[in-house]
Chain A
Amino acid sequence: MSGITVVYIVFAIVIACLFGYTFLMSQRQREIEAEMDELRGILAEKNDDR
Chain B
Amino acid sequence: MSVLGRAAAPQRFPSIRLRPLDLLGLVAFVLIAVSMGMALLYAPTELIQGDPQRVFYVHLPMAIVSYIAFVIVFVSSILYLWKRRIVYDVVARSSAEIGVFFTTLVIISGGLWGQATWGTFWQWEPRLTFTFILWLIYVAYLMLRQAAQDKERVARFAAVLGIIGFADVPLVFASVYLWRGIHPEPAGMPQAMATTLFVSIAAFLALFSYLLIHRIRVDRAREELDEMLATVED
Interface residues of A (CB under 8 A from B): 1-4, 6-7, 9-11, 13-15, 17-18, 21-22, 25-26, 28-29, 32-33, 35-36, 39-40, 42-43, 46
Contact = CB atoms under 8 A, between A and B. Distances in A.
Interface of B: 25, 29, 32, 36, 39-40, 50-52, 54-55, 58-59, 62, 101, 105, 108-109, 112-113, 115-116, 207, 211, 214-215, 217-218, 221-222, 224-225, 228-229, 231-232
Contacts of B225: 32, 35-36, 39
A21 B51 contact: no
A36 B228 CA distance: 8
A21 B211 contact: yes
A2 B54 CA distance: 13
A49 B213 CA distance: 39
Contact of A25 (B115, B116, B215): B215
A17 B55 contact: no
A10 B211 contact: no
A42 B234 CA distance: 12
Q: Sorted from nearest, which 10 A-B pairs have the closest CB atoms? A: A3-B51, A6-B116, A4-B51, A7-B54, A32-B221, A39-B228, A3-B52, A3-B50, A10-B109, A29-B218
B101 A21 contact: yes
B116 A3 contact: yes
Contacts of A6: 51-52, 55, 112-113, 115-116
